[in-house]
Structure 1
């Protein structure tokens, strides 16, 4: 596949690898170049992989029984994305993942991850820390949805994703915040007048 060593070091920041370890990691990663609008996961799919976003933007969303979309996550450069409930429990996906910009991803299967944990133990620590931060982030988001106003959630969103507004559709942002696109427009007007 010939992934550049610099890309492996970028994906696994802060870890030094031997040449042999770099070759092992390279053998486990699959590079994907995807067009905007590509769905990489659908509800009821089997989830065998997670994805590192090298560039581009993706979103994870859920469709409720009435057909309404609920955006759970955006993934931008240097983020990981998957339906983690299905990935870790070997259940079927409940989420959809789509590219909302052209994207370059690096896919790693659950089996490959497990192999890497045995062959390069420091990667287990790397992924554990990533999951800890992701869990804390999701918990903060749940609390924000319960306790913050829509305006406060929007301000938090633009500080988390400072450049995303130019590339993401308004209805995706509104879906992420749990509000209507009209409410989003009103909040933006309020903020611009302050």
Structure 2
């Protein structure tokens, strides 16, 4: 029997599951509501979960020894967020994950993910494809950071995250782009004049 319920429809759009597969999925994912300002993961913690964002906005960042924050990623609707290196290797997290807007997320532990992969093979394939796409996106971002101007990086940012710019802090955007908040203001003014 092919059944689609809200949880599987949200996370696995387009996949159909049997009753038995649905029970495994239902027991693996946990829906939680998190308030703005919540820290889901601190650098140095064990990263034993990853998160699917149903709605809201999250940010992952690294804090340098001098205290400067470097935003690695924003997570928005239908994105996955986590310290994937720590999650996959069982190392301690090097990233902090902060909730920037009240959010609804699905959380899955490493243990539950492994159980899910072993018992619902189509989910294993689904996540492999997601990871491949994420790897490609990170590679593009690295190349953009070393080859594009700050203005080009900003334009890429507003194309990638079209609806969050007004609801997050300027210093988060600037740290994502690798520029100062003053440079961000100058770029916006220059673009507004064009």
TM-score, normalised relative to structure 2: 0.96
Deviation at 1:88, TM superposition (A): 0.7
Q: Which structure 1 residue ranges, 4+ long, deviate > 2 Å from structure 2?
A: none
Work out the number of aligned pairs and report it.
191
Secondary structure class of the residue paired with 1:91: coil
Deviation at 1:85, TM superposition (A): 0.8
> For residues 35-184 of structure 1, what are the structure 2 equivalents within 5 Å?
35-184=35-184
| Separation of aligned partners in 2, 1:115 and 1:73 | 27
- Contact 2:48-2:109 at 8 Å conserved across structures: yes
| Separation of aligned partners in 2, 1:35 and 1:6 | 22
TM-score, normalised relative to structure 1: 0.96
Gaps of 5+ in 2: none
CA RMSD of aligned residues (A): 0.9
Provide, for residues 79-137 of structure 1, a one-character-per-residue CA deviation record: whole Å limited to 9, x for no partner.
Answer: 00000110011100010001000011100011111111111100010000000000000
Deviation at 1:14, TM superposition (A): 1.9
Gaps of 5+ in 1: none
Deviation at 1:33, TM superposition (A): 0.6
| Separation of aligned partners in 2, 1:192 and 1:172 | 21
Deviation at 1:176, TM superposition (A): 0.2
Deviation at 1:6, TM superposition (A): 2.1
- Contact 2:49-2:87 at 8 Å conserved across structures: yes
Secondary structure class of the residue paired with 2:70: strand
Secondary structure class of the residue paired with 2:137: helix
| Separation of aligned partners in 1, 2:60 and 2:192 | 29
